[in-house]
Every structure is written in C-alpha cells, then in structure tokens.
Structure 1
Amino acid sequence: MTGPAVTTDGTAVRIRGLRRVFGDRAVLDGLELTIRRGEFVALLGASGSGKTTLLRILGALDRADGGEVLVPRARTVVFQEPRLVPSKKVLANVAVALPRGRATRQRARTALTEVGLDRHADAWPATLSGGEAQRVALARALVRAPELLLLDEPFAALDALTRLKMQDLVGDLCRVHRPAVLLVTHDVDEAVRLADRVCVLRDGQLVTDEPVTVDRPRDPGDPAFASLRRRLLTDLGVHPATPLSPSSPHPPLTPLTPLTPLTTGAH
C-alpha cells in the first residue's frame, strides 16, 4: 500500500516490508525505513541495488509489489538531469504547472533568489551552465514547499567544483526549509558531508542505517569523517588496503598480487 502519511510522531516517511519485483528478482525485499520530518537521509548502494527504484516508489513514479509505504502528499523530485522545458524561460520553468498569478510569480522569484539566480529569471534554459540549470531544478522543487524532497543523484553530471558548491547550497536550503530528504548517491563523501543518517542498500534490504555524528562543517580530513567513510566503503564491498589518513581523502588501491611465473618445459 502506498499513500499519504498522516502521523503525529514527527514521521514523514514510513516503509514496512517493501517489495518490488522485476521478473524473478526482488530488487527490494522486505525493506524497512523511517524518515522523520526535517531529517536528511542519504542512500548508498551499488548500481542496480534498487536505490532509484525506492526513490521512484516514494515519488509515485513506480509501484510497490508488497508492503506499506506512507509518504507526505507534498513531495518533489530533483533528477540527475535538470529536465527544464526549453521553450519556457527560467522563471516560467520554476513555476511550471503551478496556478498562474502574481503570487505564484513572486514565489518563483523568491525561490530563484534562494538559489542565486534571481538575475536569470528571463534567461532561456539553453543559455545556462549545468550547475545553473540544476539550481533552477532545485528552485522548481522548493517553490512547491515539499514535505519530502527526493534527490536522485542530482550532482552526478556536474564538475567537481560545481558539485561541492551545489552540495553546500542544498544543505543550506534544506536546513532552512526543513523537508524530509532522501538523497540517492554513489558518492560516499557526498553522503557523509550532507546527511543526518546514511543507509546502505544491498540485496534488497538496508544493511546499514547509521547517524552521522561528524561535526559541521564536515571536513573529509576529519578523523571521524574518514572513519565513517571507511565503514561505509566496507559495507559497500570496497575494502581499502590501508587505513585512511586525513591527507588521503580517497581509499588507496589494493596492489595486485604478483603472478607466479609459469615453468616451461618439454611435453
């Protein structure tokens, strides 16, 4: 069952025994997850583990085959691609599908100001950079005042510097607007940098659900950050060869074991 959540205990999302089956494979198999109002949860997992399937079910873009899914009525999705309407200017893209009128235009302009694009209201999408287009997509999501914000790898197509700036922007805006957030990502550092909790999805279930207690602003060089990164990488099946240090922000590669030379001889 999927439906709007009506709770009095501060819960925004409640998932119990969720199943989603494709053919003979259960991508989600008895999954349990709760997200509180205002909480930011990051979801990690290998490709094909069911992360985006879960997000799509929460966003009413896919169905569940079993279990209970309770979600708020007001929810929006930001995808990896901005998905702007090329024939509409930036302000109209932010307000797309909303009731027309002065109040809506003002809300859209306020949302653009929050993402730093108030001067681009009359620009065409084709003139925007990748980061600017994704900020428009974020403004379009936030102008709807969602109780649940679903982020499907929204920074994956951006360059490294723009990605960091977008992470900071999303973190700041979510602390102001306080929606429940589910971020699907492959980036462990991104998950630790942004989330209140980090979950790892494997074999259809959550094998990790851990609060992030690293002090903000979160520095990858912080030993607590590095320690949590190591644990999450291990849960993802990635085993660093040596412990990470503050000066080594990424897991070192494990050297290959030398091959034993073949002995040749007469047969």
Structure 2
Amino acid sequence: MPARDLPVPRGAVQPVAVRLSGVRRAFGSRPVLDGIDLEVRRGEFVSLLGPSGTGKTTLLRILAGLDAADGGRVEVASARSVVFQEPRLVPSRRVWQNVVLGHVQNRTTRRIAAAALEEVGLGRHADAWPKTLSGGEAQRVALARALAQEPRLLLLDEPFAALDALTRIRMHDLVAQLWRRHLPAIVLVTHDVDEAILMSDRVIVLSGGGIRFDTRVGLDRPRQRGDAGFTALRARLLAELGVVSPQAGGHA
C-alpha cells in the first residue's frame, strides 16, 4: 500500500513521523513482516535489531517508499531520506553535486550543498571527486545528502557497518550531534547491540515477522559500556536475540 503523510495529532508533544498498523510483507510464500504495529515520533531515535532475514531492511524500505507493503496501513512523514551501508556516490559528479543529486544544480543548490557539507565537516571537499575520499568521508557525504532534504524522518540502513572502529565512533558522535540539532525521527537498522544502546531512545527487536521486544533506553547520555544499566540492557537484548552468552560481546 502507498505511504500517506501524517496529520499532526492534537495535543502531541511531537508530531508522529511513522505510524504502521498491521503491516505485512511476504516474498513468495514466506512472510517477512506479519502484522507490524509501530509508532515513532519526531525527535525520537529508534534502533531495529534482529538476526538476518527478520525484515529489518524490508521494514526500512517500506518506510522509505522503496518497497510496498502487501497489507496494513503505512503513514510516514513526506520529508524523509535514507543513508545506506554504501555511500552510493556518483563517481563522475563532484562532492557538492552528489549532495544535491536529483535537483537542478545552480547557485541555490550549491549553497544548500555547501551548508550540508559544513555540518558534516567536509566544507573544504565540495569540489573533490568521490574517488579521493576515505570511506568515512564518503559516508559523511551521504549523510550530508540526506540532511540537504531537511527530513522529518531519517532512515539509516547499517550506515556504519563498513567503517573501521575509530571512524565508526566519530560517525556515531556526528549523527548524534546532527540529530540533536535538527530533531528528525531516526530509524536505524543495525546488528550491533552496543551501537543501538549507545545511540537510541528506544530499541526494537524483530523476530518471526513481528516485534518481539520494544524498550525505552532509560540511560543518561553520554552512555558508557561499563555502566551497570548498560550491561543489564545489553544482556536483555542479547537474550531476546537468542544469544546464550551475553559475555560473548556486543554484536548480534
């Protein structure tokens, strides 16, 4: 079913950016999503966890309008953008042109691109070619492209997975800063339990076509992996993911 934009509910602290009711999606005879009910408000940071094949990316693609649900009701903010695991930059376009890809490229869009690149710390790279960028820089360009859309809903499909550990930490910090500044709703797909706890207001575990577990992250920011509350939540999430030994680490 096509997604519909949302009205702002009366008396809401923040408008709803995502509202799903009974959403279903199957591939052949295999149901991947089977009756998903979900609400995400603007300014809320939600992470989706689950083993491979549990529908995390399928759900994200439905929210992005890149895939259609087979049934149920899908309502999302019309201003939305996506950052994928790969930056997906066009090598024949300069960095600033990649930021405003799909738009008429003129002085106005050049200024929009410049402002977005400044926000992600790449203002001096506007005229560079994508092949000259590091992996982390390329992903920041992809983030700048998403921000240039002024989204009310930002969808992140494992955007840090291919980065080295230090670059990943820097990207975590950057996304957190941009989130606080712009206050979009963010839905992050990740396999990393620690990443979900560090970044999110709320963590959802998908399993068997539905939402197995949905919890608020009641921890003060900045969060530390060694804190008792962090350790307890990690253990609970790993258990929900079917990991027998939480001591094995923070990935699932």
Q: TM-score range by the shorter chain?
A: over 0.9
State yes or no: 1:38 paired with 2:43.
Answer: yes
Counterpart pick for 1:11 among 12, 16, 35: 16
After TM superposition, give the deviation of residue 24 of structure 1 in Å. Answer: 1.1
Q: Which runs of 5+ in 2 are unaligned?
A: none
Alignment partner of 2:100 out of 95, 98, 101: 95
Q: CA deviation at 1:251?
A: 6.1
The residue number in structure 2 matching 1:263 is: none
Moved over 3 A (4+): none
Is residue 97–residue 105 contact of structure 2 (8 Å, CA) maintained in 1? no
Question: Could you tell me which residue of structure 2 aligns to residue 145 of structure 1?
Answer: 150
Structure 1 Cα separation of the partners of residues 99 and 159 of structure 2? 17
Deviation at 1:250, TM superposition (A): 2.4
Contact 1:240 1:251 in 2 (8 A): no
Alignment of 1:63-102 (within 5 A): 63-102=68-107
Deviations 1:54-107 (A, max 9, x none): 000011111100100100111101000000010001111111112333222112
* Residue of structure 2 equivalent to 1:225: 230
Structure 1, unaligned runs of 5 or more: 253-267
Q: C-alpha distance in 2, partners of 1:16/1:102?
A: 43
| Post-superposition offset of 1:213 | 1.0
Larger Rg over CA atoms: 1
Instruction: Give the match for residue 257 of structure 1.
Output: none
Aligned residues: 246
1:28 lines up with 2:33 in the alignment = yes
Q: Among all aligned residue pairs of Structure 1 and Structure 2, give the percentage whose two residues are the same amino acid.
A: 61
Supply the distance in 2 between the matched residues of 1:7 and 1:195 (Cα, whole angstroms): 23
Q: 2 CA distance for matches of 1:47 and 1:195?
A: 20
Task: Please list the CA deviations of residues 141-168 of structure 1 after superposition, one character each: whole Å capped at 9, or x if unmatched.
Answer: 0011001100000000001111111011
Residue equivalent to 1:168: 173
Contact preservation (8 Å) 1:43, 1:185: yes
- Paired with 1:19 and 1:213, the residues of 2 have a C-alpha distance of 30
SS in 2 for 1:42: strand
Question: For 2:241, which of 226, 232, 236 is the aligned residue?
Answer: 236
RMSD: 1.4
Aligned to 1:255: none
Question: Helix, strand or coil: the match of 2:4?
Answer: strand
SS in 2 for 1:43: strand
Structure 2 residue matching 1:3: 3-state secondary structure: coil
- Residue 130 in structure 1 maps to residue 135 in structure 2: yes
2: distance between equivalents of 1:61 and 1:87?
25
- 2:249 is aligned to 250
Q: 1:4 aligns to what SS in structure 2?
A: coil
